[in-house]
Structure 1
């Protein structure tokens, strides 16, 4: 698959427990439930949504990013009923530099069950093998220990502290940059 073809549609990826598919209109309620949850958004880098219309706008923005070759986002859906429990994807995609940043959020009811690790491996494999990425980065708030564990479990390495890198909820937040190179990725 080439850069030109992968972004014409979101490729379907499957793991043992989940289908990673395109976001659909029927996902709006579950998408909003995740992005309006204060605890889920605590480390995401943005304020929690307050209206379902914001979720619709955000989902449209994700689709526009795909069309512009700058981002791609998958719905994380349970295999048994295809219900969205989170999203994962690449943004800040530099096609010319063969790199992108990965991000994800999972519904709080599924925390601690290995969901992020399972779906992250599938997305990384697609990024390296199908999208031609060489470097995948992650930006994490220092207090988000669970996300550090997930990223380090699949091979990401911390590279440095980005001081006052993000601004949300009326204050600046430091962030840590981690990265994983294609040659270091083990399926």
Structure 2
């Protein structure tokens, strides 16, 4: 199973790198998309986001992927990455899509593949997911994927619902 590049029925994923800067800037500057991501990011913040994620790939062998639809349009990003929450190192799954791709089940589709990578290829024992408490759409995706609600916690200054999924 490939960890770096993968495909789902409707998406192609490749490791996020600086070649995605312009496309990711458009995504990060959309206030509606960024509403639950800590707010709009400028080019400098997006550049740092990418370089941090490239470093994550180098250190762990997995990280954030850029997503394209069948026509080659940049659809968004998804991730499997380490994060420290309350001094505990966790591996989280996450996703963000352009508004044109909302409501099509793509978050569930790509998350299933990322979970397969995490549990089967990387043998992770557990994966977490979180979203701001008010972000019902993301919470529904987590619940559909059988994540179990664990607790509400403050993460990066926001009250988030934290979910966990154990390896099958």
Q: TM-score, normalised by structure 1?
A: 0.79
Matches within 5 A, 1:20-169: 20-44=13-37, 46-50=38-42, 52-69=43-60, 72-81=63-72, 83-92=73-82, 100-162=91-153, 164-167=154-157
Deviation per residue, 1:132-169 (Å, 9 max, x gap): 1110101211100000111111111101111x4332xx
Cα RMSD, aligned residues only: 2.3
* Structure 1: runs of 5 or more not aligned: 168-172
What does residue 178 of structure 1 align with? 163
Do 1:70 and 1:93's aligned partners in 2 also have CA atoms closer than 8 Å?
no
Deviation per residue, 1:61-94 (Å, 9 max, x gap): 110111122861111111222x321111122269
Do 2:67 and 2:75's aligned partners in 1 also have CA atoms closer than 8 Å?
yes
CA–CA distance in 1 between the matches of 2:61 and 2:35?
Answer: 25
What does residue 12 of structure 2 align with? 19
Q: Secondary structure at the match of 1:68?
A: helix
4+ long deviations beyond 6 Å: none
Deviation per residue, 1:68-127 (Å, 9 max, x gap): 22861111111222x321111122269xx9951111111111110111011111111011
CA–CA distance in 1 between the matches of 2:162 and 2:141?
Answer: 14
Q: Secondary structure at the match of 1:143?
A: coil
* Structure 2: runs of 5 or more not aligned: none
Q: Secondary structure at the match of 2:54?
A: helix
Do 1:75 and 1:84's aligned partners in 2 also have CA atoms closer than 8 Å?
yes
Do 1:71 and 1:92's aligned partners in 2 also have CA atoms closer than 8 Å?
no
- Alignment size in residue pairs: 165
Pair 1:38–1:72, CA change in 2 (3 A): same
Pair 1:32–1:145, CA change in 2 (3 A): same
Q: TM-score, normalised by structure 2?
A: 0.87
